[in-house]
Amino acid sequence: MRSYYPVVFIATYLCIFTNNVRANNQSGEHPWDKIFSPYSDDQSELALEKDHRWEICSRMTSSASIAAGAIYRQKNRDPKFKTPSDAADVKELLFDMYPINTETFEDQINQKIRDIAYSHWQTWTDVPYPTDVTIEKTAWNWCIKQPLKGFWELN
């Protein structure tokens, strides 16, 4: 029986670490780091929809970074502790965290998170304020360009 503890531990660590970094980063240097969207004060229907998209896209950037971090950790694990199932465990973890069950917009987002994580894992770093934000920028740029109607079904 395979043990998922190392993979779950890494994912939990990355989630906590990313949330702490985001909470401490008040600079708002990047759009996904800002506490409030530029539409927060506007109560029009269009602004509320844009604000909702902003929130979802901010979460997506964090998720893409977490997923890339899990892949990075797996690929750079000390060879003494590597097991043949490590890559499969990380892949299974990402499939569990970002499932694609139906053809909804959420599934499109989850697929994009996985794609970005696998294509940009080499740029991931665990420093508090990374200078290379390729993962986040890629996720943000894709997400923010999506039509507003796709975000209606998401919480």
The span from the CA of 131 to the CA of 105, in Å, is 30
For the record, the structure tokens of 89 come out as: 């465990």
Q: Report the alpha-carbon distance of residue 120 to residue 97 in Å, rounded.
A: 18
* Residue indicated by tokens 């660590």: 13
Written as tens digits, the pLDDT of the chain (155 aa) is 455 555 555 655 555 555 544 444 445 588 888 777 788 788 888 888 999 999 999 999 999 999 999 898 888 887 777 777 777 888 898 999 999 988 899 999 999 999 999 999 888 877 666 677 899 999 999 999 999 988 888 87
CA dihedral 12, 79, 133, 5 (to 10 degrees): -10
